[in-house]
Amino acid sequence: DTGRTVIRGGLVISATEEMHADVLVEGERITALAATGSTLAESWTSGDARVIDAAGHYVIPGGIDAHTHMEFPFGGTQSSDTFETGTRAAAWGGTTTIVDFAVQTVGSSLREGLDTWHAKAEGTCAIDYAFHTIVSDVTEDTLKEMDVLVDEGVTSFKMFMAYPGVFYSDDGKILRAMQRAADNGALTMMHAENGIAIDVLVEQALAAGKTDPRYHGEVRRELLESEATHRAIQLARVAGAPLYVVHVSASEAVAELAQARDMGLNVFGETCPQYLFLSVDNLAEPDFGGAKYVCSTPLRPVEHQATLWRALRTNDLSVVSTDHCPFCFSGQKELGRGNFAKIPNGLPGVENRMDLLHQAVVDGHISRRRWIELACTTPARMFGLYPRKGSISPGADADIVVYDPNARHTISASTHHMNVDYSAYEGKRVTGMPRTVLSRGRVVIDDDAYVGSAGHGRYVPRSTCDYLT
Ligand code: DUC
Ligand code: ZN
Ligand code: ZN
Ligand code: ZN
């Protein structure tokens, strides 16, 4: 029994407003908010309620990271965070829900993929979790399974225009899956890069002796991201389906999204902290250090960052997720020594997202309400978790972060909690960090201590996207 908890005296921030309010938590839910100092709020602290003093702090909804890959098989290895270590690290960073990707492998069913991911996550997570499914093999049976999964709360499907021979689907398969999604209310998520053309450039680069990590960024050209983005949008129009483009990194792709949205299409875009804070310069770090920054879509020249920040303000990009997909430098990233194409793709970041975006508030890129909208409320609405998740409102799950906006700290692998031997943001100084984190009413982070438990986190079935009618 988690009893009654009052979070007292903080600044409660939502996507639309801020108020000095006390928050009453009973059991797993938020049951009321009242102005700090009001008779009602004072009445809550009589009796045996536990009081969390939030004076001088923000009180925000727990972060929703709608794009993570725990225990994800890639390039003959597997991402280094388990659901246990990855969700614990998420909690440390103020994220209280992840939406991870179950993987259908070619020749198997969506069901087998989803069951496998349930088995990985069940009983091990520190915070709540949900699933999308990666569709790698579009068949008549797969299309029928999509309808069943939507009814089970898996209401979004990711497809790949990249990675031929692994996750890749051709345009016909994409169109068929999009048509099905248009019928069953699901959201199609797209990895938009022209993988067929990229593979040609990879082969040519390697043949020319260009094997270093920085060539990963050169061959995965901006134009091959924007071309795929454009094509995905046209296919979605033909299918009459909504579209969510994941990990948008290049200005050219943002322009495609903006044009589609100006036409009134249900096209949404996501970007990730690595595209906002890192660049191709990192890929050129010496001694194979660039391998730490190999992800797809790749990091871009620094000029793209300004476009991404602008798009986050204008809503042409409306979600910031991490694409958390960690691989250790030692033994995993090193698989690509002498051949950048063999470096497992992915960066760690699930623990850093809330703080990096708060730093963006400090730096003047976004307002603090927009911070909450991008990191909590819109992901919840986009992926059918709202109103249970994503806001501090009566009836919502008590997933709450008491956030200290003045706590300075330095991001480092020596202090992070992700199961990976480096940090993509090593040495970066940020201002702001979670002090207390509640997951469904239970304190899981208490200042400098993790007090949660593996298995507290539950599977959350999702409804359909709140932005569609
Ligand atoms: N990109 C990555 O960087 N990692 C996992 C898969 C992907 O699309
Ligand atoms: Zn992807
Ligand atoms: Zn991904
Ligand atoms: Zn404090």
Complex ipTM value = 0.91
Closest Cα to atom 8 of ligand 1 = 296
| pLDDT level of residue 469 (50, 70, 90 thresholds) | confident
The best mutation among 67, 69, 249, 347 to test binding of ligand 1, ranked by most ligand atoms within 8 Å of the C-beta, falls on: 69
> What average pLDDT does the segment 176-205 reach?
98
Return all residues near 422 (Cβ < 8 A) that are at least 6 apart.
Answer: 292, 328, 329, 348, 413
What pLDDT, on a 0 to 100 scale, did the predictor assign at position 47? 84
> In ligand 1, which atom is closest to the CA atom of 294?
3
Ligand nearest, relative to CA of residue 57: 4
Both structure tokens of 184:
């069953």
Ranges assigned E (strand) in 15-134: 18-26, 29-35, 50-53, 58-61, 63-68, 73-74, 77-78, 95-103, 128-134
Tell me the average pLDDT of the chain. Answer: 98
Which pLDDT tens digit goes with each residue over 243-277?
Answer: 999 999 999 999 999 999 999 999 999 999 999 99
> What average pLDDT does the segment 206-225 reach?
98
Compute, in angstroms, the gap from residue 73 CA to the centroid of ligand 1.
11
Both structure tokens of 286:
């010496």
CA distance 402 to 76: 40
The protein residues having their C-beta less than 5 angstroms from ligand 3 (an ion) are: 323
> In ligand 1, which atom is closest to the CA atom of 163?
8
Ligand 1 pocket by C-beta < 6 Å: which residues?
Answer: 69, 74, 191, 295-296, 323, 325, 345-346
The best mutation among 296, 299, 340, 347 to test binding of ligand 1, ranked by most ligand atoms within 8 Å of the C-beta, falls on: 296
CA distance 396 to 389: 6
| pLDDT level of residue 2 (50, 70, 90 thresholds) | low
CA distance 179 to 159: 13
| DSSP notation for 311-353 | HHHHTSS-EE---B----TTTTGGGGTT-GGGSPP-B--TTTH
Rounded to two decimals, the pTM is 0.98
Contact 54, 21 (CB under 8 A): no
Ranges assigned E (strand) in 88-155: 95-103, 128-134
Task: Read off the amino acid at residue 169.
Answer: S
> What average pLDDT does the segment 323-338 reach?
98
